[in-house]
């Protein structure tokens, strides 16, 4: 049975195109997989707290020695990681904020990128421990970052792909909704292109 994890993060809520396309793709993927489950983690509706000393210190302590604050912080990270472990397919929506992903999504990575739990160092090299999963990344941006002069400052996609690879999620399909700030015609073209990309990836995943 397929288990799909959908993670959205845009502060634009229902107006978010990254959340819209990621959600549409995840739901249609579930429909074409009989018996599949869909878990939704909306990081805007339920934003994770930024990590603090309780988490950093607590995750390195035996469970029975943690303070209540440390135990709560570690339990939150463990719950997020458990969702990843349970999924065979991960769908992530991210809308660009100041050339990077939303702070809510960065905070999520701060919890799930856990040395010794989701990745480890082997002979000086990083080994991700959550491999064997398919990941679909949907990014939205006002400008065009897939090519041209802005490609060098696409800190959103590069950051997300690097951290996904860090924890072992290296099999990534990337859908872009870009050029949304270039006027109505460009926005419509971006949405049409994204819809075509969704169709193509659904066909490929069938």
Binding residues for FMN: 10, 16-18
The candidate with the shortest Cα–Cα distance to 148, out of 183, 179, 177, is 179
Sheet holding 37-42, edge to edge: 37-42, 3-8, 89-95, 134-141, 171-178
What is residue 100's DSSP assignment? Answer: B
Q: Are 17 and 26 in contact (CB under 8 A)?
A: no
Q: Are 9 and 93 in contact (CB under 8 A)?
A: yes
Helices 68-86 and 103-112 pack at an angle, to 10 degrees, of 90
* Binding-site annotation: residue ranges: 10, 16-18
**In this structure, what are the phi and psi dihedrals at residue 44, rounded to the nearest 5 degrees?**
-85, -45
Q: Are 134 and 84 in contact (CB under 8 A)?
A: no
Rounded Cα gap, residues 143 and 92, in angstroms: 20
């Amino acid at each position: 049975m397929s288990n799909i994890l959908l993670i959205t993060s845009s502060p634009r809520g229902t107006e978010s195109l990254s959340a819209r396309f990621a959600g549409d793709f995840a739901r249609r993927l579930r429909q074409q997989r009989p018996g599949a489950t869909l878990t939704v983690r909306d990081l805007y509706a339920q934003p994770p707290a930024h990590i603090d000393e309780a988490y950093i210190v607590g995750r390195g302590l035996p469970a029975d020695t943690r303070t209540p604050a440390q135990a709560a912080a570690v339990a939150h990270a463990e719950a997020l990681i458990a969702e990843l472990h349970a999924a065979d397919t991960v769908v992530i929506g991210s809308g660009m904020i100041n050339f990077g992903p939303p702070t809510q999504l960065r905070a999520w990575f701060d919890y799930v990128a856990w040395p010794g739990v989701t990745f480890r160092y082997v002979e000086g090299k990083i080994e991700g421990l959550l491999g064997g999963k398919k990941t679909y990344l949907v990014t939205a941006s006002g400008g065009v970052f897939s090519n041209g002069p802005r490609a060098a400052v696409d800190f959103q996609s590069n950051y997300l792909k690097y951290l996904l690879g860090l924890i072992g999620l290296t099999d990534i399909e990337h859908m872009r909704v870009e050029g949304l700030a270039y006027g109505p015609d460009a926005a419509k073209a971006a949405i049409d292109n994204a819809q075509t990309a969704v169709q193509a990836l659904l066909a490929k995943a069938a």
